[in-house]
């Protein structure tokens, strides 16, 4: 693993801006489209460049193999249902609240990984990271 340089940090900030603004954009889109339509369009627009990249890199897409039912179930549980629920939830609450609530996902994931995996145990630095992240979310909630 290498040390992060300024370009890496700039890319991380850009990624955060894109992900953070997506909840605002979802909120605007739910004024015109139904949540299921919005989730379907998001998945379609994400799958096109992904399939093109796989074709360019000559990566075989396993979802088109004999085990397609397993991959369809994974896609349903990890993409289709969450995207639909996010669109439904964002249509009911403010977009900034949705973004803050979704920001708890990596923290809860790291805590759950400690208990359900063998190689992702919480270390001192990981616990400090979780506490810093949680403190940031609490700070954002207090700023509302």
At 26-53, the pLDDT tens digits run: 888 888 989 889 888 888 988 899 899 9
CA distance 41 to 100: 24
Is pTM, for the whole model, over 0.75? Answer: no
Pair 96, 27: CB distance under 8 Å? no
Q: What is the rounded distance in angstroms from the CA atom of residue 19 to the CA atom of residue 21? A: 6
DSSP 58-109: T---GGGSTTHHHHHHHHIIIIIHHHHHHHHHHHHS-HHHHHHHHTTHHHHH
- Residues 106-141: tens digit of each pLDDT: 788 888 888 999 888 888 988 888 888 888 877 877
**Token code pair at residue 41:** 């369009």
């Amino acid at each position: 693993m290498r040390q992060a340089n300024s370009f890496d940090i700039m890319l991380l900030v850009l990624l955060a801006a894109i992900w953070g603004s997506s909840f605002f954009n979802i909120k605007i889109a739910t004024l015109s489209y139904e949540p299921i339509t919005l989730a379907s369009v998001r998945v379609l627009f994400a799958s096109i460049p992904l399939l093109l990249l796989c074709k360019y890199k000559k990566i075989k897409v396993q979802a088109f193999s004999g085990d397609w039912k397993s991959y369809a179930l994974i896609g349903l549980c990890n993409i289709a249902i969450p995207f639909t629920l996010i669109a439904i939830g964002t249509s009911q609450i403010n977009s900034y609240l949705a973004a803050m609530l979704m920001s708890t996902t990596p923290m809860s994931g790291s805590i759950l990984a400690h208990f359900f995996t063998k190689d992702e145990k919480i270390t001192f630095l990981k616990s400090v990271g979780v506490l810093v992240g949680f403190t940031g979310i609490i700070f954002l909630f207090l700023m509302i």
